[in-house]
Amino acid sequence: MSGLGFVRSELEIKTLTLHVLDYIRLSVNFDELMRCVFVDDAINYFKFADYLNGMVETGHVEICSDTGEDRYSITKKGTRDLEHIRSSVPSYVLRKAEKASDSVRTEVIRKSLVNVKVTEEADAWRANCSMSDDSGEIFSFSMTATSREEAKKLTSNFYRHAERIYNEFLRSMLDTSD
């Protein structure tokens, strides 16, 4: 993808990547990071992947894999060095990346607050669903399903509509009408 953008050099791509990680202040997976960084038409996927691995090796970016998925975040070294190189990328490109990062940040936070899991117990499938906020778990339930597919459908629908399900449940539980 060698388009008409302005971010072409190794320094510029690394700077933009560090800027995004510094701005978002969360660990993000590769695809989420790409969505934030690929705001300039000149960025090349293979160079980006190579430079990201290089920043991991130099200690500017760290990988956390405790969820079974590689998640990237900026290190103190990355934050420190970013202050010296941030001006190598035009400010309007940085702002465009920040705008893309805002939607990714919202998705990442939501993902961390809504949890679903399918388990098998004594020849039955269970859909386990929970929702949290900053202070901890606020809603959870477990349902028995007739099959693994049904349990997956239950968890999938909860994941997509957790807020609505929670609000409907709360409304029903607080309803005082007869």
* 100-115 per-position pLDDT tens digit: 999 999 999 988 899 9
Report the pLDDT value the prediction gives residue 43, as an integer from 0 to 100.
Answer: 86
Ranges of beta strands (E only) in the chain are 61-64, 71-74, 114-121, 124-133, 136-145
Report the pLDDT value the prediction gives residue 42, as an integer from 0 to 100.
Answer: 79
Q: How far apart are CA 89 and CA 119, in angstroms?
A: 48
Share of the chain above pLDDT 90, in %: 80
Give me 50's structure tokens.
Answer: 């190579």
pLDDT over threshold 70, residue 86: yes
Name the packing angle between helices 91-113 and 30-37 (round to 10°). Answer: 150
Q: How far apart are CA 77 and CA 66, in angstroms?
A: 22
The model carries a pTM of: 0.75
pLDDT grade, residue 4 (50/70/90)?
Answer: low
* 56-78 per-position pLDDT tens digit: 999 999 998 866 789 999 999 99
pLDDT over threshold 50, residue 54: yes
pLDDT grade, residue 53 (50/70/90)?
Answer: very high
- Separation of CA 152 from chain center: 21
pLDDT over threshold 60, residue 3: no
Report the pLDDT value the prediction gives residue 65, as an integer from 0 to 100.
Answer: 80
* 17-50 per-position pLDDT tens digit: 999 999 999 999 999 999 999 998 878 899 999 9
pLDDT over threshold 50, residue 135: yes
Question: How many CB atoms lie under 10 A from the CB of residue 151?
Answer: 23
pLDDT grade, residue 1 (50/70/90)?
Answer: very low
Sorted by where each starts, the structural domains of the chain and their CATH numbers stand as 10-111 (1.10.10.10), 122-174 (no CATH)
Mean pLDDT of the chain: 92
Nearest 5°: the CA angle 114, 124, 148 is 60
C-beta of residue 26 within 8 angstroms of C-beta of residue 105: yes
| List of long-range contacts for 128-135, beta carbons under 8 Å, 24+ apart | 128/155, 129/154, 129/155, 129/158, 129/159, 129/162, 131/162, 131/163, 131/166
Pairing type for strands 61-64 and 71-74 reads antiparallel
